[in-house]
Amino acid sequence: MSPTSCLIGVGFKPTHFAPLAGKCQPIDFLEIHAENYMGPGGVPHSQLDELAAQYALSVHGVGLSLGGEDVPDRAHLARLRALCARHAPFLVSEHLAWSSHGGMFLNDLLPLPYTPATLARVANNVDELQASLGRGILVENPARYLAFAESTIPEPAFLAELCRRTGCGVLLDITNVLVSATNLREPASRLLDDMLAALPPGTVGEIHLSGPESVIEPDGATMLLDTHGAPTPEAAWLLYRRALAGIGPVPTLLEWDNDVPDWEVLLAEAARARQLSATVRCG
């Protein structure tokens, strides 16, 4: 357990600047999407400067395309490096996904087959990112809606091997475990257990919780969409407890990006995470 293990955070939205700035909110850290803070200056950065005096910061990238076939975008690496230098986050994370192709940014976290070749590619990209930043990063498990014929490596083993090769950690998105397992028709508790069993001890550096949207498919089955626009569902809270029991407390973030609720709603979710986290050695 590290000094940061019990930290509870929320995704920062400018609409919540007023309740956060200069107030003593029971929140330990704020997470930002890196790309929203890559302008030259202005209000976004001055808000962060003000908030950083009170809350720890976590930088969550959505644009590096670590799973992409393109060579890493060096200009974007430089922007991320500058952002981290400017705001000194305690966590930096990105996704096991691709989001650019042929020099075009596609604005979504797209899935990749899990094979020895894609593992080698992602590992190279993570190596380059970590070398560029001069620090370790966390890689998030994606929300998946489909699988590929050529995949030969289960996701938990893929992430575990990525950690071993690069020294990176994992941002375990509990809701993505629920979404992926539901969509690929396997029990979410089993996918979570496989993940916890496969990952080397100490590699989970952060947990994400958020609310998906449930859609009934043409065949009558349920599909989950990772919308970040609803309360964390009970099924995800159950998985969270299961993860805490398995690996102990980990910095936990409530992620709400669409239909952002009133501050109090977010605070109540954070309080619930804190309470659960405290039952496992946060004291």
Partner 1 sequence: MRLTVPDEGFTQAGFAAALFKAQPVVPPGLAAGTPAHRFEVYRRNVQAGLARALEARFPVVQALVGAEFFTAMAREFVTRQLPTSPVLLEYGRAMPDFIRGFAPAAGVPYLADVAAFEVARGEAWHAQSLPVTAPAELQRTCLTDARLLLQPALGLVRSPFPVLAIWAHHQRADAPPIDWQPQSVAVHRQGGEVVQEAVAPPEAAFLAALLAGETVGGAFHSARHAAAGFDATAAFAWLLARDLVVAAVPGIHQQGKQNDATDR
* Interacting residue ranges for partner 1, rule: CB under 8 A: 35-36, 38-44, 46-47, 62-65, 68-69, 73, 75-76, 79, 98-108, 110-113, 145-151, 183, 217-219, 223, 225
Name which of 113 and 246 has its Cβ closer to partner 1: 113
Q: Which residues of 47-63 are buried (b: 16+ CB within 10 A; e: fewer)?
A: bbeebeeebbbbbbbbb
- Rounded to the nearest 10°, the torsion over CA 40, 45, 46, 52 is -150
Structure tokens at 157: 């083993």
Per DSSP, the residues of 1-12 read --TTTT-EEEE-
| Cα(28)–Cα(14) distance, integer angstroms | 17
Give least dist CB 276 to partner 1, A. Answer: 30
Give least dist CB 204 to partner 1, A. Answer: 26
Name which of 183 and 252 has its Cβ closer to partner 1: 183
Give least dist CB 188 to partner 1, A. Answer: 18
Question: How far apart, in Å, are the Cα atoms of 153 and each of 97, 116, 158, 171?
Answer: 15, 8, 6, 19
Name which of 100 and 232 has its Cβ closer to partner 1: 100
Pairing of strands 91-95, 56-60: parallel
Name which of 120 and 245 has its Cβ closer to partner 1: 120
Cα angle for residues 117, 118, 122 (degrees, 5° grid): 125
Give least dist CB 105 to partner 1, A. Answer: 4
Give least dist CB 178 to partner 1, A. Answer: 16
Q: What is the CA radius of gyration of the chain?
A: 18
Name which of 110 and 278 has its Cβ closer to partner 1: 110
Name which of 62 and 139 has its Cβ closer to partner 1: 62
Give least dist CB 2 to partner 1, A. Answer: 30
